[in-house]
């Protein structure tokens, strides 16, 4: 039997009566709901259920759900894999930095976090262990990606122009 509920619930089912099988009890509830019209005008009525990929496992489902919700999937990685991924992305992260000291600071910060990770007990013996970033290789890659710094020819041009102006002024005063 269905009794009126409280709050937002329209109906609350009563407990299964003793001596009645679950299948019979569930079928009775479904039949009563159909009589009330609870299954009419539902979203997706008359359409087949969405097909699920048979090869999709729980991990694939979680990643797809996170992407649909706009969650960064990198946040779902275990700490060791997250550090490995960060190491792989370091060169792109330092490309916009202005000085070699900033590049070294980013690499040394990463290495300090890896060393702190090494000191912690791991969840299992198969946990991925990240490696340190090669600071010198990162700095040399940063240097190669930057345009070469050429000396500015502007001061020489300014001096030549100033000398020409001075000579013209001197020539004007001599003519007078």
Alpha helices in 72-153 (DSSP H): 79-88, 90-94, 100-119, 135-145
Q: What pLDDT score does 8 carry?
A: 47
Residues 137 and 80 in one domain: yes
Top pLDDT among 172 and 101 is at: 101
Residues 132 and 79 in one domain: yes
Does any domain span residue 54? no
User: Structural domain tally of the chain?
Assistant: 2
Domain residues for 104? 74-145
Residues 141 and 81 in one domain: yes
| b/e 14-51 (16+ beta carbons within 10 angstroms → b) | eeeeeeeeeeeeeeebeeeeeeeeeeeeeeeeeeeeee
Residues 31 and 86 in one domain: no
| pLDDT above 70: percentage of residues in the chain | 84
**Cα–Cα distance, 3 to 11 (Å, whole number):** 6
């Amino acid at each position: 039997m269905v009794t009126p509920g409280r709050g937002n619930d329209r109906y609350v089912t009563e407990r299964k009566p003793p001596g009645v099988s679950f299948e019979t009890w569930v079928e009775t509830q479904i039949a009563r709901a159909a009589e009330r019209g609870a299954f009419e005008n539902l979203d997706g009525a008359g359409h087949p259920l969405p097909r699920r990929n048979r090869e999709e496992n729980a991990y694939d489902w979680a990643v797809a759900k996170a992407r649909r919700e706009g969650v960064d999937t990198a946040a779902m990685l275990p700490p060791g894999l997250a550090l490995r991924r960060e190491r792989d992305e370091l060169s792109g992260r330092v490309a916009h930095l202005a000085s070699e000291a900033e590049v070294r600071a980013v690499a040394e910060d990463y290495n300090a976090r890896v060393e702190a990770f090494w000191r912690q007990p791991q969840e299992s013996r198969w946990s991925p262990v990240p490696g340190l970033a090669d600071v010198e290789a990162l700095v040399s890659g940063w240097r190669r990606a930057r345009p070469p710094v050429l000396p500015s020819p502007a001061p020489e041009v300014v001096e030549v122009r100033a000398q020409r102006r001075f000579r013209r002024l001197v020539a004007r005063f001599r003519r007078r």
